[in-house]
Structure 1
Amino acid sequence: MTLSGKTLFITGATRGIGLAIALRAARDGARVAVFGKTAEAHPRLPGTVFSAAEAVEAAGGRALPIVGDVRSEEQVLAAVAHTVEAFGGLDILVNNASAISLTGTLATDLKRWDLMHQVNARGTFLCSKACLPHLLKADNPHILTLSPPLDLRPKWFAPHVAYTTAKYGMSLCTLGMAQELAPDGVAVNSLWPLTTIDTAAVRNLLGGEQLANASRRPEIMADAAAAILQRPSRTCTGNFFIDEEVLRAEGVTDFSGYAVVPGAPLVADFFLPDAVREASDTALVVLG
C-alpha cells in the first residue's frame, strides 16, 4: 500500500514534523491540504502555507494551501469544506498543530494557558469533529494525532502542568475516539518520537542548537506516520505509537540517517515511558 491518491488534511503543516509528513505523502502522489496560520514568513519561523504547498507540489503531490487557525470553528469548517470540494473527499487527518510553554504554575499566565488548551486539546477535537463526516465515507480512514502516551506520574506534570494537561488532552481524544469510532472503521492513533526532534520549538524554546544537534530529523516521524496511515483502519486503532518502534516493525534497523549529527548522543523526548526507553536499542540521554 501507498498514500497515492489519498487526501490528507494536516494542521500546522508549514514547517517541522507537519511539513515532513506532508512531503512524505507527496512523494507517494498524495493530495495534501496544508492548513496553518503562517501566511508570511517570520525570521525565527521559516515557512508559510504557500511555501509548504510549493514543496508538496515539487515532491510529486498535489497541494491546497489554506491559511487558518485551529482555534476557529468557522475557519476549520471552511477549510475542511474547501479540501473536500477541491479533492473530492478526505481520507486522513493529521492533528499536528500544537502550542508549547514549559513554565511552572506561577509563571504561566492565563492567556498562555488558554492558547495551549485551545490549540492542543480543543483544536484536535474540533478538527477531528469537522473531518469525521468525510472520513466516514473513505475506504481506509485515519486520524493521527501527534501526542504522547498517557502517563499520569507526577514527574510529567510538576515542571509544566499547563502544557502537560493541554498535550495530554490531545491523547485523551485518541483514547476516547478510537473506542467510539471503531465500529465505523475509523482508525484513531497517536504518534510520539523516541528522541527529541529538530524543530523550531527545540531550537527557539527548548535547547537551541545544542539540543537540536542531539535530536533526530522530522523525517523519522514522517516515515513512521506514513507506515501507520497505510495500515488497515479497522485493525490499527487506539495505539500510542513511538516512531522508532513503528519503523522497526516495518523492518528498519539502521536509524543513523535520521540523526541531525550522526553519532552524537540522542536525547529522550518528554513523556517517553521508562519501559520504552529501557527497551530501545538506541542509547538515550535523559534531560533533568
Structure 2
Amino acid sequence: MQPLHNKTIIITGASRGIGRAMALRFARDGANVTLAAKSAEPHPKLPGTIHSVAQEVEQAGGKALPVQLDVRDENAVKEMVERTAAAFGGVDAVINNAGAIKLSGVEHTPMKRFDLMHQVNTRAVMATAQAALPWLKKSGLGHILNLSPPVNLNPKWFAQYSPYTLTKYSMSMLTLGMAQEFRRYNIAVNSLWPQTLIATAAVEFEAGGKQALDRARSPEIMADAAYAILSDKTQRRSGEWLIDEQVLRDAGVTDFSAYTYNPDAGQALMTDLFVD
C-alpha cells in the first residue's frame, strides 16, 4: 500500500500551479484531497479551477473535495475543515499553499495590498492550523506544511520588497513556533521553498514575466518534495525550513533535468527569492 493511501490532505490555493501539482501527486497514492481555493469559475487568463483539478485528482486515483474558500475568512476555513473531516473521516495534513505577492517597497505598497499579503500569507496559516488541530491530533502522524522560505536576514531581501518579505518570513516563524507547540501531539510542522523559480502564475505576472519561465522548474518538483516529507513516517523532520532540491537529494534523487519547465530554452535556472 502506498504511504499516502487513504490519507486526507487539505491544500489551499489548489486550483493551479504548485497546489494542483501536489494534489495530483498525492492522488497517485490514493489520497483524499480537499482542494480549497477561490477559483471556482474559469478565469480568462489563468487555467484551472477547484472543479477541474478535482476531476484530475479522481482520474489519478484519489478522492477529491473541491471547496471554494477565501483563506482570510476564518469561519469559512473552519467550515472547510469540518466538511473535510465529515467527507473523509479526519485530517492528516494541511498544506498552506495559498499566497499573495507584490514585489514593491514600503513607499509604493498600498496598505490594502499589504493587508491582503498579511492575511493570505501569514494569518491564514494560523487560522488553518487552529481549525485543523483537533483532527490533526487524532491523526497520529499529523503534518502542517507551509510554503515559506528560510528566514534569510541578508538586507538585499528587504531592500526592494520588505512588505512581502515580512509576510513570508512570518509564515516561517510560525513554522518554528507551531513545531515546538504541537510536538506533544505528534504533529510535525515544516516549511518548504523552491531552490529555483517555479513556473507559476505568480512568477509570470508578479515576479519576472513570461521570460522568467524559461529559467524555471515545473511545479512537480515541489510536489515530489512535499510527497517525500509527508510520506516519511519517522517524523524526523519538524521545525525545519526545507528546500525542495535538498529534500529530494536526501531521498536519493540526483538528476533534476526532468523538472526543467522549458528545456528547449537552454537557459540557466534562476535561484528563487530568499535563497543565496
TM-score, L = length of structure 2: 0.97
Q: How far apart are residue 203 of structure 1 and its match?
A: 1.2
- 2:273 corresponds to which of 257, 270, 281: 270
| Contact 2:221–2:244 under 8 Å retained in 1 | yes
Q: Runs in 1 of length 4+ with deviation above 4 angstroms?
A: none
Q: How far apart are residue 232 of structure 1 and its match?
A: 2.9
**Structure 1 partner of 2:51:** 50
Secondary structure of residue in 1 paired with 2:167? helix
| Contact 1:96–1:146 under 8 Å retained in 2 | yes
**Structure 1 partner of 2:5:** 4
Amino acid at match of 2:56: A
How many angstroms apart in 2 are the aligned matches of 1:139 and 1:184?
8
Amino acid at match of 1:142: H
**Structure 2 partner of 1:136:** 137
Amino acid at match of 1:36: A
**Structure 1 partner of 2:17:** 16
How many angstroms apart in 1 are the aligned matches of 2:127 and 2:115?
15
Establish whether residue 69 from structure 1 lines up as the match of residue 70 from structure 2.
Answer: yes
Over the residues paired in the alignment, what is the CA RMSD in angstroms?
1.0
Structure 2, unpaired ranges of 5+: none
Establish whether residue 174 from structure 1 lines up as the match of residue 171 from structure 2.
Answer: no
Secondary structure of residue in 1 paired with 2:182? helix
Amino acid at match of 1:9: I
Amino acid at match of 1:180: E
- Aligned ranges 1:98-177 → 2 under 5 Å: 98-177=99-178
Q: How far apart are residue 60 of structure 1 and its match?
A: 0.9
**Structure 1 partner of 2:222:** 221
Deviations 1:110-149 (A, max 9, x none): 1000000000100111111111110000021110110000
Amino acid at match of 2:240: N
**Structure 1 partner of 2:255:** 254
How many angstroms apart in 1 are the aligned matches of 2:142 and 2:249?
24
Q: How far apart are residue 204 of structure 1 and its match?
A: 1.6
Q: How far apart are residue 214 of structure 1 and its match?
A: 0.5
Q: How far apart are residue 261 of structure 1 and its match?
A: 2.2
Residue correspondences, number: 273
Secondary structure of residue in 2 paired with 1:267? coil
Amino acid at match of 1:79: M
| Contact 2:140–2:187 under 8 Å retained in 1 | no
Q: 1:156 to 1:233 in 2, by over 3 A?
A: farther
- % same residue: 55
| Contact 1:17–1:218 under 8 Å retained in 2 | yes
Secondary structure of residue in 1 paired with 2:139? coil
Q: How far apart are residue 45 of structure 1 and its match?
A: 1.8
Amino acid at match of 2:246: E
How many angstroms apart in 2 are the aligned matches of 1:88 and 1:161?
41
Q: How far apart are residue 230 of structure 1 and its match?
A: 1.1
Amino acid at match of 2:268: P
How many angstroms apart in 2 are the aligned matches of 1:208 and 1:42?
19
How many angstroms apart in 1 are the aligned matches of 2:49 and 2:234?
31
Secondary structure of residue in 1 paired with 2:43? coil
Q: How far apart are residue 209 of structure 1 and its match?
A: 2.0
| Contact 2:146–2:175 under 8 Å retained in 1 | yes
How many angstroms apart in 2 are the aligned matches of 1:93 and 1:127?
8
Q: How far apart are residue 233 of structure 1 and its match?
A: 5.8
Q: How far apart are residue 88 of structure 1 and its match?
A: 0.4
Structure 1, unpaired ranges of 5+: 275-288
Deviations 1:85-130 (A, max 9, x none): 0000010100000100001111100100000000010011111111
Q: How far apart are residue 205 of structure 1 and its match?
A: 1.8
Amino acid at match of 2:180: Q
